[in-house]
Chains A and B, each alone.
Chain A
Amino acid sequence: MKQIELTDEMMEYVGILAKLELSPQEMDAGRKDMEEMLDYINQLDELDTTGIEPLSHVFPMTNVFREDVVENGDGATDTLKNAPAEKSGGIKAPKTIGE
């Protein structure tokens, strides 16, 4: 059975994917927890799944379409109330272009 050892690079990569900034202590604890979980998860390898189709949903799912018409009115005012920062009727966020 494969035994996972998570290197610093792998943990850093997970941090980037997860968009989390972890303290050195959190990083160490996270590594330990993840290694333990992955070792546990590796028992799935005992099962032969050759030729088995992965099952993402238990029932067949298809996309649901509808006409592109507004049904729920204009919720802009209430939506903006939840914005952490607001500027002239829009949500204010840090600069995204030209960084």
Chain B
Amino acid sequence: MDIMQATAVALGRKIKEKEITAVEAVEASLAAIRSREPQVNSFLAINEEGAIERARRVQREIEAGRLAGPLAGVPVAIKDNLCTRELRTTCASRILVNYIPTYTAEAVKRLEAAGAVVIGKTNMDEFAMGSTTETSAFGVTRNPWNPEHVPGGSSGGSCAAVAAEEVPFALGSDTGGSLRQPCSFCGVTGIKPTYGTVSRYGLIAYGSSLDQVGPIARDVTDCAVILETIAAYDRKDSTSIKREDLVFSQGLSDDVKGLRIGIPRDYLGEGLDPEVKETILEAAKVLGEKGALVEEFDLGLTRYAIPAYYVIACGEASSNLARFDGVKYGYRAEEYQGLHDMYKKSRSKGFGAEVKRRIMLGSFVLSSGYYDAYYLKALKVKALIKQAFDRAFASYDVILGPAAPATAPKLGESLGNPLQMYLGDIYTVSANLAGLPGISLPCGMDSRGLPIGLQLLGDCFQEKTIIRAAYSYEQTRPYRRSPLAAGEAMQVGQAAAGETMQDGPLAERRHL
């Protein structure tokens, strides 16, 4: 079997049992990247020499018995909004095109301490603002299931890299669904943990009260093991939570007997693709047959989640992105008249259209005269949404629904109508507003051969419950490899490969 077909935990076991070395694992990952990148373009930077050097050191540590964890020697890709020391970190934005962090994000540090080897940085929507990875300043990523389609976003590069079997796992981030939705579009599994579970230290902030880092992998077991590796209290993140129950792999049991699963009726209504609906309900039926108590209920307030989310996220973004001013790091305009003109010109040339759109909306909703009517109102609606979930979790252990209203759209179809694109976040944003954990895992295919994702939400701190439900469901369905990973023809992608190479990202990304 191809080394890259193994899950992260399986690969870690092979390394531990001396079947292969960490160096061989990293070389296999680099070879897969070399062969598949022209078609998928998941990466913004590849840390070739650094990764091999690091794998050699990790291998010595493993042989000396100093590294024995499940991820020791396993290659990993990191979303490019997580800082990596000495490895360029751009947030897929021109404004950070030359930024080399002087420190590593806490989540990445914890992976490295466990022996994982960072292979490179993945493409994303600029500053995580988008749902397709098309707002990246460095070119689009293609869906490994069909190169004419987007991988979703904003963690599109991380999800595509995992689906293309370029790496066994990756880290992503989720502010309004940015991890769960691309998992759904690419047919892989990801967890957005309870807010405060994974440190945000070194995660370049978008909406600080909503952002969480999470694992992306090819099965639930990997996700549980990765999450327990990266989750920890961190005093460098003032919103980090002291939790005692971080051994998420304890949730890996095939048992849903008596588990109360609620399906919000509002999640099955207007706007949901019929094929997605049918597949989600089929998955619910499977869980019911395994002994779960499944029923539909009225969650309420669903349609208010998106407007509340965009006010809060954009407000926070306008404040968080104020730091990109061309003074201390990042892009500075070549010509300007004085300090304020430098700020304006650097930002105007450095940020792309979607980022500017959100900064402007955010500046407006926070401005005096509009703050109460928009920002404060949204925070009150957030409180109501949290209450609605509290009521729901009094009756149910798990809330089941789709991760997205439809499967992956074609490239070029989404950015023309921003509001329409935002509506695609309908099933995911509430979890961020209410701080809830959510898991997205593949549950079927549509008639065009694109993956459909099942989303399971749990109450705060109940990751193990959704992991158990997801793991139980997963036992009923074998993992399906993407055509790109399985080596089937990706005709359009191959035709476009030359183009992508010349367009720059591939040439540019080697400069670390």
A interface vs B, CB < 8 Å? 10, 13-15, 17-22, 26, 30, 33-34, 36-38, 40-47, 49, 52-59, 61, 63-64, 66, 72, 75, 78-79, 81-85, 91, 93-96, 99
Contacts and interface: CB of A to CB of B under 8 A. Distances in A.
Interface of B: 98-100, 102-103, 195-196, 209, 235, 238-239, 241, 301, 303-304, 307-308, 310-311, 318, 322, 325-332, 336, 338-345, 347-348, 351, 356-357, 359-367, 374, 376-384, 386, 418-419, 434-435, 460
A21 B98 CA distance: 22
A79 B328 CA distance: 8
A49 B377 contact: yes
Contact of B363 (A17, A21, A37, A38): A17
Nearest to B322: A19
A14 B238 contact: no
A20 B357 CA distance: 11
Contacts of A15: 360
21 contacts: A20-B356, A21-B344, A30-B356, A30-B357, A33-B418, A37-B418, A41-B378, A49-B383, A54-B379, A55-B379, A55-B386, A56-B379, A59-B460, A78-B102, A82-B328, A82-B330, A84-B329, A85-B332, A93-B339, A95-B339, A99-B339
Contacts of B311: 41, 44
Contacts of B339: 93-96, 99
Contacts of A36: 419
A27 B63 CA distance: 61
Contacts of A20: 344, 347-348, 351, 356, 359-360
Contacts of A13: 367
Central interface residue in A36, A57, A79, by most chain B CB within 10 Å: A57
Contacts of A83: 328-329
A95 B341 CA distance: 12
Contacts of B304: 43-44, 46-47
Q: SS class of chain A's interface: helix, strand, loop or mixed?
A: loop
Contacts of B308: 44
A18 B332 contact: no
Contacts of B318: 17-18
A41 B307 contact: yes
Contact of A45 (B343, B376, B377): B377
B19 to A, nearest CB: 39
Contact of A66 (B102, B235, B345, B359): B235
Given A18-B359, A18-B360, A99-B339, A55 B380 contact: yes
A30 B434 CA distance: 30
B162 to A, nearest CB: 29
A82 B379 contact: no
A24 to B, nearest CB: 13
Nearest to B332: A84
B310 to A, nearest CB: 7
A47 B383 contact: no
Nearest to B234: A64
Contacts of B384: 47, 49, 52
Nearest to A46: B304
Contacts of A93: 327, 339, 342
B238 A72 contact: no
B80 to A, nearest CB: 16
Nearest to A81: B100
Given A17-B367, A52-B384, 8 more contacts: A19-B347, A21-B341, A21-B348, A33-B361, A34-B364, A41-B378, A44-B307, A84-B332
Nearest to B382: A55
Given A41-B310, A95-B339, A58 B363 contact: no
